[in-house]
């Protein structure tokens, strides 16, 4: 069997297993919209944890972070990984927990539905859906781009970027459509296990081939000492460092596909346990990813710009055999699909339940949701094949956009006086500030656009709440 055939076989086995899980989940009593979109709110610790990690980890980590570390060194770990170890569990506690309680109390299935019911205004759900849609599609593009780059590398250009992107979207579409939320969460357990295990195993295998971890690190320190320390300029200055830390910590709870996973938790203990397990998963994944990028400078010293996004697959191809290359590709596909499925399902559920809410009946909603998945996949593919920017740059834009929802998400659950007028002002002002600072802010500004957007959105929320009348309580009137 040739190397290419072996790689392809490993990937095909992975696809068959994932599709099998989707079919099995689909056969298990998917009759109501709540069952299809939220797995009947019955997800326990292990599946919830793996689903959260699987949803959280994308090619941004597996390919974008090695690509970034290749240029910026080990400081990328502190810049990105350590702060989210604290930030994600803290945001689950401060925002996810009250949202989970409120969603159950109101019978809300989607994030947009939660806020529409909470504020007694259907149009508010449309506003939230619009923001989610605008910032989720680019994030989906990063996932599909990661697959395109990886397949292109492992197949030596024999499988085109366009074909790989279409293939991943098609398989994800199939099992998501068949299995709904339950299917995606079950597959996330498999997918999370694959990429967590492989990143650790590949770390030690590649180190072993290079003579061990210590000699490899010393070789990098000798050839590129600047990669072993945190510099004082660019993104490592205090302002950009602090604002990026703020953005990357807060954006995860603002992902609609993360929040909807939290809604699916069976009880609070499952959420608590997921928080406790989070640091271990982050360390296991992020340290290898950062060091892959740093080590890549020894083998591939001339990768310029976004070409460094391919450094992880290049390392695997250089140092490991075809079977490991197949598993590496499967693990990248797993990271992509475990996020892509949640994003597609969440946007689809928000469209059918919140925007086109006149559609009555669970079966019609599910059918409409499945149709929207196809449209969404087509939009993502068309944008991805244009290769608009590096994975990190596109993801940074998406993350900043999600953060504009944070004041509304936090204050609506924690401040009884917070009104829907204030929430609307906060979202609009936050997004205007984000766009303005992106377009007109200086390149070397003290703070990144995400910090200005969060500050403006928070100020707008607080000022408008103090000036506006109390919101009507749920049940006082029918939805507007």
Q: Which stretch binds other proteins (CB under 8 A): 124-132, 278-286, 305-313, 460-468?
A: 278-286
SS3 303: coil
CB 345, min distance to other proteins, A: 25
CB 438, min distance to other proteins, A: 24
Got the DSSP string for 418-471?
Answer: --HHHHHHHHHHHHHHHHHHHHHS-TT-SS-HHHHHHHHHHHHHHHHHHHSPPP
Among 217, 284, 298, 359, binds other proteins (CB under 8 A): 217
CA nearest to 296, candidates 161, 206, 198, 235: 206
Among 4, 19, 174, 213, binds other proteins (CB under 8 A): 213
Among 70, 241, 292, 381, binds other proteins (CB under 8 A): 241
CA nearest to 407, candidates 463, 476, 472, 342: 463
In the region spanning residues 250 to 269, those forming contacts with other proteins, defined by CB under 8 A, are: 268
Contacts of 164 (CB under 8 A, 6+ apart): 147, 148, 150, 151, 152
C-alpha–C-alpha distance, residues 458 and 429, integer Å: 9
Residue 470 as a binder of other proteins (CB under 8 A): the answer is no
In the region spanning residues 56 to 115, those forming contacts with other proteins, defined by CB under 8 A, are: 74-75, 77-78, 81-83, 85-86, 89-90, 93, 97-99, 101-102, 105
Residue 466 as a binder of other proteins (CB under 8 A): the answer is no
Q: Which is nearer to other proteins, 228 or 374 (CB)?
A: 228
Residue 318 as a binder of other proteins (CB under 8 A): the answer is no
Residue 17 as a binder of other proteins (CB under 8 A): the answer is no
CB 161, min distance to other proteins, A: 34
With contacts defined by CB under 8 A, how many residues of the chain interact with other proteins?
53
234: alpha, beta or left, given left = phi > 0 and alpha = psi -120 to 50? left
* Encoded tokens for 412: 């609506």
Q: Alpha helix locations (H) across 224-321?
A: 238-254, 256-263, 268-299, 311-319
Residue 278 as a binder of other proteins (CB under 8 A): the answer is yes
Among 20, 231, 301, 321, binds other proteins (CB under 8 A): 231
Q: Which stretch binds other proteins (CB under 8 A): 3-11, 233-241, 257-265, 402-410?
A: 233-241
C-alpha–C-alpha distance, residues 245 and 283, integer Å: 17
- CA 122: distance to chain centroid? 27
Q: Which is nearer to other proteins, 74 or 189 (CB)?
A: 74
C-alpha–C-alpha distance, residues 273 and 48, integer Å: 9
Residue 301 as a binder of other proteins (CB under 8 A): the answer is no
CB 108, min distance to other proteins, A: 12
Among 211, 234, 301, 416, binds other proteins (CB under 8 A): 416
Distances in Å between the alpha carbon of 316 and those of 66, 150, 276, 346?
12, 11, 32, 33
Q: Which is nearer to other proteins, 20 or 215 (CB)?
A: 215
Residue 455 as a binder of other proteins (CB under 8 A): the answer is no
Q: Evaluate whether 430 touches 404 at the Cβ level (below 8 Å).
A: yes
C-alpha–C-alpha distance, residues 96 and 258, integer Å: 9
Among 159, 174, 205, 221, binds other proteins (CB under 8 A): 221
C-alpha–C-alpha distance, residues 434 and 44, integer Å: 37
Which residue ranges make up the site for other proteins (CB under 8 A)? Answer: 74-75, 77-78, 81-83, 85-86, 89-90, 93, 97-99, 101-102, 105, 213-214, 217-218, 221, 225-226, 228-232, 236, 238, 241-242, 245, 268, 272-273, 275-276, 278-280, 282-283, 287, 290, 412-416, 418
């Amino acid at each position: 069997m040739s190397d290419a055939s072996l790689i392809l076989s490993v990937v095909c086995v992975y696809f068959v297993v994932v599709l099998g899980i989707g079919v099995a989940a689909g056969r298990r009593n998917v009759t109501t919209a709540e069952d299809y979109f939220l797995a009947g709110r019955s997800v326990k610790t292990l599946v919830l944890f793996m689903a959260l990690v699987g949803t959280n980890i994308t090619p941004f980590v597996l390919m974008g972070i090695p690509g970034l570390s290749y240029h910026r060194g080990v400081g990328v770990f502190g810049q990105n990984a350590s702060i989210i170890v604290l930030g994600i569990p803290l945001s689950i506690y401060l925002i996810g927990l009250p949202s989970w309680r409120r969603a159950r109390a109101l019978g809300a299935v989607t994030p947009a539905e939660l806020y529409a019911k909470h504020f007694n205004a259907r149009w508010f759900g449309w506003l939230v859906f619009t923001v989610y849609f605008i910032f989720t599609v680019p994030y989906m593009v990063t996932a599909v781009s990661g697959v395109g780059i990886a397949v292109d590398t492992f197949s030596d250009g024999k499988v085109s970027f366009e074909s790989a992107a279409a293939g991943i979207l098609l398989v994800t579409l199939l099992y998501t459509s068949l299995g709904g939320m339950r299917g995606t969460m079950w597959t996330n357990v498999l997918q999370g296990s694959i990429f967590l295990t492989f990143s650790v195993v590949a770390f030690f295998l590649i180190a072993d081939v290079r003579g061990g971890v210590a000699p490899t690190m010393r070789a990098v320190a000798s050839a590129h000492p600047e990669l072993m320390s945190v510099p004082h300029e660019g993104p490592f200055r205090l302002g950009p460092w602090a604002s990026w830390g703020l953005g990357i910590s807060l954006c995860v709870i603002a992902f609609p596909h993360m929040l909807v996973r939290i809604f699916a938790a069976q009880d609070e203990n499952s959420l608590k346990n997921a928080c406790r397990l989070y640091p271990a998963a982050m360390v296991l994944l992020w340290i290898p990813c950062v060091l892959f990028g740093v080590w890549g400078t020894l083998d591939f010293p001339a990768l310029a710009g976004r070409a460094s996004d391919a450094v992880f697959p290049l390392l695997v191809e250089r140092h490991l055999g075809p079977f490991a290359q197949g598993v590496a590709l499967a693990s990248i596909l797993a990271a992509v699909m475990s996020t892509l499925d949640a994003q597609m399902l969440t946007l689809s559920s928000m469209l059918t339940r919140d925007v086109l809410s006149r559609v009555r009946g669970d079966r019609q909603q599910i059918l409409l949701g499945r149709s929207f998945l196809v449209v969404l996949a087509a939009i993502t593919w068309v944008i991805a094949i244009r290769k608009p920017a590096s994975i990190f740059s596109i993801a940074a834009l998406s993350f900043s956009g999600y953060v504009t929802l944070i004041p509304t998400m936090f204050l609506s659950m924690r401040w009884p006086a917070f009104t829907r007028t204030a929430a609307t002002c906060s979202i609009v002002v936050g997004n205007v500030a984000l766009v303005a600072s992106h377009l007109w802010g200086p390149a070397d500004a003290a703070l990144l656009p995400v910090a200005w957007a969060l500050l403006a959105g928070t100020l707008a929320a607080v000022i408008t709440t103090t000036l506006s009348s109390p919101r009507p309580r749920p049940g006082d009137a029918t939805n507007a």
